[in-house]
Amino acid sequence: MSAGTNQTGGTNSGLVKWIDSRLPVFSYLQKEYAEYQSPRNFNWFWNFGAILTFLLVMMIMSGIFLAMQYQPNTALAFDSVERIMRDVNFGWLLRYLHQNGATFFFIAIYIHMFRGMYYGSYKAPRELLWMLGVVILLLAMATAFMGYVLPWGQMSFWGATVITNLFSAVPLVGDSIVTLLWGGFSIDNPTLNRFFALHYLFPFLIFGVVVLHVIALHVSGSNNPLGVDPKGPQDTVSFHPYYTMKDSVGLAVFVTIMAAFVFFAPDFFGEPENYLEAAPLNTPAHIVPEWYFLPFFAILRSVDFDILFIEAKLGGVIAMFGAIFVLFVLPWLDKSPVRSAKFRPVYKWFFWIFLIDCVLLGYVGGKPTDAPVFGGVESFQIIHLGYITTFWYFAHFLIVLPLLGIFERPKPVPKSISEAVLGGGSSGAAATAKPMEKA
């Protein structure tokens, strides 16, 4: 790129230049979002970063307007949400967007993560990029959990009871942690107040970590479906207009699907019982968290036995948090030098088995532990499937991946992106690449 005006997007505006020479926001955007060289071979799974950015902004915006009407008080909270639904102008739209937005945020974040796992996006030099993503997942879970408490329905209250009580399993300080979370000796008004305050804070923390995530991304550059680093300009295109255009398509399709739920089936993902106001003396028959927590909830419940001196309850909590923390060390558990599963014939299978395992965990988490699996025989209960799927979740990371790094024979990896994309492997890659017209 030539110097001068192009650094600020080719503008001749004196004001833009004046500002840019003092605070280079325009040249930063130009460099990081327009000229930023991206591998030319992204598939549609590379849309989800942009989709998640959009959803985060949508959640913050709808949330701010909801907060203007919501009352964080146990006597008023439930009715204030209903007032939003009935009397606030387009309140039902804000509320349903926010409620379904959380669901679709997790759909997008899980697709984004499985994408990263399939194509080895967590491997050097992108370890920190991946770990920051796991931090975002953790923060998003905390935010969603606290947000779910705010409408003060039955599942809000009892979900909060179950989850906060988990911390009492921590040795020595467990009860103190629970008291601190509750702001007292039961889930009550102080709990609701602090959850509201933190629910408002956390999205901005997420935003901060997203900035770090993007900075880390732009240092190492994006991975791609081949897992091969770009070797030169023939392997890349500029982010704008090629990927801004492609992201717009993916975003529009994603938002279309989300809108169909918001307008036509807004309570599809919700738990009906949360339309009953919280009743501390009336325990629901079956307490279930929101669907996006179900796999982790299943892991929690599946450790229902003591392991040496660790009691079952603490064991379950360790396993549940361990299921997330194992993701932090994933870059060091997978020792294979090849990134993309395209060239890893064995890992590819294990990836799909792991994906199915996670779906089964979600199924387990949503059912009573003593129900027969898929309505089948009485002797094979949900808890048994829970043991198997929980074991496999950890075995995948702690046994399968390290062993594959040693024993798997990867297929030959193409020398460059343009060779694989353009040359069909036979002719010289760089020679067939036309000069870039727009890049």
Partner 1 sequence: MGIVSNLRLAAAATGLIAATMFVSTTAFGAGDVKDPDSQDWHFEGIFGTVDRAAAQRGLQVYLEVCSSCHGLKQVAYRNLTDLGFNEEEVKAIAAEFDVVDGPNDEGEMFDRSAIPSDKFVGPFPNNAAAQAANNGALPPDLSLQVKAHIGGPDYIYALLTGYTEAPADVEVPAGANYNPYFRGSLIAMAQPLWPDGVTYSDGTEATIDQMAWDVVNFMQWAAAPEMEERKKMGFKVVLFLIILSAILYAAKRKMWSNLDH
> CB-wise, 207 or 275, nearer to partner 1?
275
Does position 142 interact with partner 1 (CB under 8 A)? The reply is no
Smallest distance, Å, CB 54 to partner 1? 13
Q: Is the peptide bond between 233 and the residue preceding it cis, with omega within 30 degrees of 0?
A: no
> CB-wise, 139 or 364, nearer to partner 1?
364
Binding residue (CB under 8 A) for partner 1 from 267, 374, 391, 403: 267
Smallest distance, Å, CB 94 to partner 1? 12
> CB-wise, 215 or 371, nearer to partner 1?
371
> CB-wise, 2 or 89, nearer to partner 1?
89
Binding residue (CB under 8 A) for partner 1 from 16, 85, 142, 346: 85
Q: Which stretch binds partner 1 (CB under 8 A): 4-12, 126-134, 255-263, 345-353?
A: 255-263
Cα separation of 231 and 234, whole Å?
A: 8
Contact 66, 52 (CB under 8 A): no
SS (H, E, C) 151-190: CCEHHHHHHHHHHHHHHHHCCCCHHHHHHHHHCCCCCCHH
Binding residue (CB under 8 A) for partner 1 from 262, 364, 373, 385: 262
Cα separation of 211 and 122, whole Å?
A: 18
Does position 127 interact with partner 1 (CB under 8 A)? The reply is no
Near partner 1 in 281-340, by CB under 8 A: 281, 283, 285-287, 301, 304, 313
Cα separation of 195 and 46, whole Å?
A: 34
CA angle 83, 86, 87 (to 5 degrees): 70
Does position 88 interact with partner 1 (CB under 8 A)? The reply is no
Does position 240 interact with partner 1 (CB under 8 A)? The reply is no
> CB-wise, 238 or 336, nearer to partner 1?
238
Cα separation of 34 and 238, whole Å?
A: 6
CB atoms within 10 A of CB 421: 20
Near partner 1 in 52-81, by CB under 8 A: 79
CB-neighbour burial class of residue 388 (10 A; exposed 0-12, middle 13-18, buried 19+): middle
Binding residue (CB under 8 A) for partner 1 from 264, 308, 309, 412: 264
218 in active site: yes
Does position 387 interact with partner 1 (CB under 8 A)? The reply is no
Does position 396 interact with partner 1 (CB under 8 A)? The reply is no
Burial string for 138-155 (b: 16+ CB within 10 Å, else e) reads: bbbbbbbbbbbbbbbbbb
Smallest distance, Å, CB 278 to partner 1? 10
Smallest distance, Å, CB 133 to partner 1? 26
Q: Residues 246, 342, 367, 396: which is the catalytic one?
A: 246
Binding residue (CB under 8 A) for partner 1 from 45, 242, 291, 321: 242
> CB-wise, 19 or 276, nearer to partner 1?
276
Smallest distance, Å, CB 372 to partner 1? 9
Does position 344 interact with partner 1 (CB under 8 A)? The reply is no
Does position 428 interact with partner 1 (CB under 8 A)? The reply is no
Taking residues 28 to 47 in sequence order and writing x for each that binds partner 1 by CB under 8 A, - otherwise, the string is ------------x-------
246 in active site: yes
Q: Which stretch binds partner 1 (CB under 8 A): 18-26, 101-109, 271-279, 395-403?
A: 271-279
Residues forming contacts to partner 1 in the complex (CB under 8 A) are 40, 79, 82, 85-86, 92-93, 96, 158, 161-162, 165-166, 168, 185-188, 237, 241-242, 245-246, 248-249, 252-253, 255-256, 259-260, 262-264, 266-267, 272-273, 275-276, 280-281, 283, 285-287, 301, 304, 313, 368-371, 383, 421-422, 432-434, 436-438
Catalytic residues: 218, 222, 246-247, 290
